[in-house]
A and B are shown apart, each in its own frame.
Chain A
Amino acid sequence: MSDSKAIFLKDATVNAADGDQRAFIRKALGGYYVNRDLQKARYRDWERARDAASLAKWSAVNDLANVLEKFTANFERNGGVVHWARDAAEARAIILKIAKDADAKAIVKSKCMTSEEIHLNEALEKAGYGVVESDLGEFIQQLRGEAPYHFVFPCMHVKREAISELFTKHLGTAPTDSPEELTMIARRHLRQLYVDADIGITGANFLVAETGQISITENEGNARLTAALPRIHIALSGIEKVVSHLDDLSVLLPMLATAGAGQPMTCYNTLYSGPRKKGECDGPEEFHLVLLDNARTRLLADPEQRDALHCIRCGACLNVCPIFKNIGGLAYGTTYQGPIGSVITPHLRGLKQWNHLSGASSLCGACTDACPVRIDLHHHLLHNRRNAAKESPTLFDRVFHHGFNFVIKRPWLFATGGRIFRATLPLLQKLPLPYMGAWMKTRDLPKAPASSFRDQWKNDHA
């Protein structure tokens, strides 16, 4: 068993047994479902809108080389600097060099999952820079020393009492149980940090090839401030975030907000085309964009699952996933949690170590229905399982399934086996058998009938 699987099983077991925490997560998501449905109802045809969003991403991803070339040419024409990183280490090195060249001291960051993917904060801190996460949820997680629980709602699992204690401990503020007051504490604390920071680091939700702009989606305004006040703006993005036309955002921006957060649009959707232009009064002097591969091209090379690169990181698949809701985001042990994480992590970090996430699904398909860009999520979990069985088959699985197949190929053996199974079921239930023992721990099996359907049918139709 891989280490990551052992840790997963341990954490999932603990979390799945925590009824209070699970109820807290369900309650937290309750308002989201109501708002999402209200917003979806404003669409005259949500399903067809999904088609349009899906095609916008499909056409860019399937022409990635050309679209990226066009994007970078336009981005550079606008005065930005493009950096390319094959992997996490290269991306970290690029950003560290920019910081060193700028003689930076303080860095303020807005939410960027790609930076979590490359463990940027640790690298910056190790090099001596002060780094502050400015998104409220990320700020709280940074103080907690914990990875985000959900890639859109980073601290949704933390109760207000714990946040109050955290702020008292780190910021010396008086305890409060008001989410509003807690938010204002963070607001007051962070304001001067934006003003003082030398470098602002953001992610990017979309890269627009036609205009060379990057698009950033947020609610709090922290990304706006991060890209407005510091002298240098660094954006970090995966290469798959590119779209062909500015007009594609007319569908993608509202659908991202509706699917992910139940909003018509998030509060701020901002397009940046470069550093401060001549005649503009503020904005950064330098604008750097780090484009990261980090195994995305490996996923691209799999045409069956290439659509996973359509992902716009809205989080809708997590919000509807019964696995996510019952084991929580941290149990995954991945940068990207939930169904999309279970699909892509084996490609990004190794199938053998991460296939268990594809196994840990009832394949209910709620994720696939929720995805605004129509990624075939739950079927990809099946594809990962198939690929893993081919690549590194486990002896137990081979024996079990070939044995089962031996039986079902022979109806007489199946019938006889069934008869024995039914006759011995009361005994079998008491034995510590694999699979059955686990099942019986929390659930009863129906009483075995005296005769099977096939026997009764045969008697009735003799």
Chain B
Amino acid sequence: MRISLFVPCFVDQLTPQVGLATAKVLKRLGHEVDFRSAQTCCGQPSFNSGQWDVAREAAIRALGVFRGADVVVGPSGSCVAMMRNFYPELLKGTPHAAEADDLASRTFEFSEFLVKKLGVTDVGAKFAKKVTYHDGCHALRELRLKEEPRQLLRAVKGLELIESEEGETCCGFGGLFSAKFPMISTAMVQVKGGALARTGADYVVSSDPSCLLQIGGWLSREGKPILPLHIAEVLANDA
């Protein structure tokens, strides 16, 4: 299958290894992967801030960028939810509505794509570590993904998956919310990060790099001995 990568803007700039790992896994499974360099940001920060006219422009741009792609796969539940669920809402009643619906039907979150679209759970990865999984809220509640990433992790050789307390609790990122209401966001990550640290896992794995930014940022500041890692990085590891 020919897959077009959708790399979130902050992954592009701050955690490029997540994008590279995503491509690596997909290629290892025998697929052709392209990256359309005209892509930038999906517009979610503006959308969440109520600036829907601005977000609409970003959405229309993205429609153009991914026009003609067979499938679009992104390593972020949040950014994929933006394209899948919110582009159609933003562009409802505009001449772009049909194309937004079409793009939504061709866009997948990485773990979802592997399990639901390709029907793969064992991607041939090895990772002999204790891991706990954090459900990003967009993946969990907008895309309804819960078992898919876990199925993938359970198939990784040597990996031990530990569930945490506060399993479905939000990490408190919420995009600009984390900076506009830093005291609330921090309180939330204390609850979430504390529960993750208590599992005794070596890594907290998620399909959402934005949550990992928040959780990892707090764990690092607090000096907790558990590291953030994107699920694509775990699955890319075959040595």
Q: Using CB atoms and an 8 Å cutoff, list the residues of chain A in contact with chain B.
A: 12-13, 16-17, 19, 22, 26, 322-323, 325-327, 359-366, 368-369, 382, 384-390, 397-398, 401-402, 404-405, 407-409, 411, 414, 418, 421-422, 434-436, 438-439, 441-446, 448-449, 451-454, 456-458, 461
Contact = CB atoms under 8 A, between A and B. Distances in A.
Contacts of B214: 443
B179 A439 contact: yes
24 contacts: A12-B183, A16-B187, A19-B190, A322-B191, A326-B191, A361-B177, A362-B172, A363-B137, A385-B48, A405-B43, A408-B58, A414-B9, A439-B178, A441-B186, A442-B186, A442-B189, A443-B217, A445-B213, A448-B13, A452-B12, A452-B16, A453-B19, A456-B16, A457-B35
Contacts of A359: 177, 180-181
Contacts of B23: 457
A434 B23 CA distance: 35
Contacts of A13: 183
A331 to B, nearest CB: 9
Nearest to A365: B141
A405 B57 contact: yes
Please classify the interface of chain A as helix (H, G, I), strand (E, B), loop, or mixed, using the class held by over half of its residues: helix
A408 B9 contact: yes
Please classify the interface of chain B as helix (H, G, I), strand (E, B), loop, or mixed, using the class held by over half of its residues: helix
Q: Which 10 A-B pairs have the closest CB atoms?
A: A362-B174, A443-B217, A385-B50, A389-B50, A364-B170, A453-B16, A435-B179, A365-B141, A326-B187, A364-B137
B16 A389 contact: no
B225 interface: no
Given A364-B174, A442-B186, A411 B37 contact: yes
Contact of A12 (B7, B40, B43, B184): B184
Contact of B179 (A364, A365, A407, A438): A438
Contacts, number: 191
Nearest to B35: A457
A358 B99 CA distance: 30
B141 A366 contact: yes
Given A366-B168, A414-B9, A443-B217, A448 B14 contact: yes
A449 B16 contact: yes
B174 A363 contact: yes
Given A443-B186, A443-B214, A365 B137 contact: yes
A368 B142 CA distance: 11
A366 B170 contact: yes
Contact of A409 (B61, B170, B190): B61
Contact of B52 (A386, A435, A436, A453): A386
Contacts of B11: 453
B121 interface: no
Given A362-B185, A456-B20, A405 B58 contact: yes
Contact of B217 (A17, A422, A445): A445
Contact of A438 (B45, B142, B182): B182
Given A362-B137, A365-B141, A401 B182 contact: no
Contacts of A443: 186, 189, 214, 217-218, 220-221
Contacts of A407: 40
A401 B49 contact: yes
A122 to B, nearest CB: 31
B46 interface: yes
Contacts of B217: 439, 443-446
Given A365-B140, A407-B40, A445-B217, 13 more contacts: A12-B181, A326-B184, A366-B168, A382-B47, A390-B50, A404-B46, A405-B43, A436-B179, A438-B180, A442-B186, A443-B220, A446-B15, A461-B35
Contacts of B38: 411
